[in-house]
């Protein structure tokens, strides 16, 4: 295993890699270097036999990931028909990795975190984990994020989360009830629970495991791809100008309810 990329930690033992988003001072938000590092790691896992299962988590207990770092500068083309989104390539499936990835969510998971959660096989959450989508609160279209969650949650739950923005968060128990989360554990037990499941997957014949991952993914792949095709146009048409987004973010309230 090569050295961990910027903003990430990676440790491998007995066929299981633990990939940690390691920017706790930024709530594990993803900057451009971290986005490139995630893509590189998935490609590395794809190319070798050392890793047979992956646990993806965030450093600390305040946040799993809060999406794209707002300080990241992403130049956009001057066309309403194209949007450059660095998070489109941060997930394992986007990098043709079919080894199973388990998400261990330890705190907030919001916005662009759903690019990652949408491409994990299943999610284990700490009791204090929360899930929300802030886009509409800041004058942004929730497209890729909501589409990813629509593969995991009932329509009404996805729509409510996407539309309510920062006013409401889904607690771990409610996330379990909706199917987004497969298991809820006490915070100190989170990594052990994820590693226990990953060890089982790593012990199975990897060809059968990867084939199963690919088969189940194919059940919703066509609908996801079709929906993704509409996303750039909806974002280009519906997003407020960056300066208005920034004002809304600066004036944001910390008040919210958890359900």
Contact 34, 67 (CB under 8 A): no
Is residue 197 in some structural domain? no
Measure the CA dihedral 56/62/68/69, to 10°. Answer: -130
Q: For residues 49 and 80, give the distance between their C-alpha atoms in angstroms, rounded to a whole number.
A: 43
Is residue 195 in some structural domain? no
How confident is the model over 90-137, as pLDDT tens digits?
Answer: 999 999 999 999 999 999 999 999 999 999 999 999 999 999 999 999
CATH number for position 39: 3.90.226.10
169 conformational bin, left if phi > 0, alpha if psi -120 to 50, beta if neither = beta
CA 162 to chain centre: 15
State the total domains in the chain: 1
The pLDDT, as a whole number, for residue 88 is 95
Output the average pLDDT for the chain: 95
Contact 113, 123 (CB under 8 A): no
Q: How confident is the model at residue 210 (pLDDT cuts 50, 70, 90)?
A: very high
Phi, psi torsion values for 125, nearest 5 degrees: -125, 145
Please provide the size of the chain in residues: 259
How confident is the model over 41-91, as pLDDT tens digits?
Answer: 999 999 999 999 999 999 999 999 999 998 888 877 787 666 788 999 999
The pLDDT, as a whole number, for residue 74 is 81
Is residue 217 in some structural domain? yes
Q: For residue 239, what is the enclosing H or E element?
A: none
Q: Give the domain range for residue 34.
A: 1-188+204-259
CA 252 to chain centre: 23
Across the chain, how many H-helices and E-strands are there? 8, 11
The pLDDT, as a whole number, for residue 80 is 66
Is residue 241 in some structural domain? yes
Q: For residues 98 and 252, give the distance between their C-alpha atoms in angstroms, rounded to a whole number.
A: 39
Return the structure tokens found at 118: 């949408």
Contact 156, 144 (CB under 8 A): no
Contact 118, 148 (CB under 8 A): yes
Among 23, 21, 31, 28, which Cα is nearest to 69's?
31
Q: For residues 100 and 245, give the distance between their C-alpha atoms in angstroms, rounded to a whole number.
A: 36
Q: Is 4 a residue whose pLDDT tops 90?
A: no
Phi, psi torsion values for 221, nearest 5 degrees: -65, -40
The pLDDT, as a whole number, for residue 211 is 98
How confident is the model over 140-198, as pLDDT tens digits?
Answer: 999 999 999 999 999 999 999 999 999 999 999 999 999 999 999 999 999 999 999 99
Q: Is 10 a residue whose pLDDT tops 60?
A: yes
Is residue 196 in some structural domain? no
Return the structure tokens found at 218: 């194919």
Q: What percent of the chain has pLDDT over 90?
A: 88
């Amino acid at each position: 295993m090569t050295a961990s990329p910027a903003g990430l930690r990676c440790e491998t033992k007995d066929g299981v890699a633990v990939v940690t988003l390691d920017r706790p001072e930024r709530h594990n938000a993803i900057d451009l270097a971290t986005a490139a590092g995630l893509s590189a790691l998935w490609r590395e896992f794809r190319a070798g036999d050392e890793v047979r299962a992956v646990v993806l988590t965030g450093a600390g207990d305040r946040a799993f990931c809060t999406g794209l770092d707002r300080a990241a500068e992403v130049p956009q083309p001057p066309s309403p028909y194209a949007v450059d989104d660095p998070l489109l390539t941060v997930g394992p499936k986007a990098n043709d990795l079919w080894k199973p990835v388990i998400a261990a969510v330890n705190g907030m998971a919001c916005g662009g975190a759903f690019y990652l959660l949408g491409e994990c096989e299943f999610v284990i959450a700490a009791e204090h984990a929360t899930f929300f989508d802030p886009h509409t609160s800041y004058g942004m279209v929730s497209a890729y994020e909501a589409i990813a969650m629509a593969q995991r949650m009932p329509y009404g739950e996805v729509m409510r989360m996407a539309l309510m923005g920062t006013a409401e968060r889904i607690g771990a128990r409610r996330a379990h009830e909706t199917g987004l989360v497969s298991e809820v554990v006490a915070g100190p037990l989170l990594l052990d629970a994820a590693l226990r499941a990953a060890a089982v997957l790593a012990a199975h014949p990897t060809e059968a495991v990867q084939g199963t991952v690919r088969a189940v993914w194919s059940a919703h792949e066509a609908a996801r791809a079709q929906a993704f095709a509409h996303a750039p146009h909806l974002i280009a048409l519906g997003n407020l100008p960056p300066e208005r987004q920034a004002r809304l973010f600066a004036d944001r309230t910390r008040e919210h309810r958890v359900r």
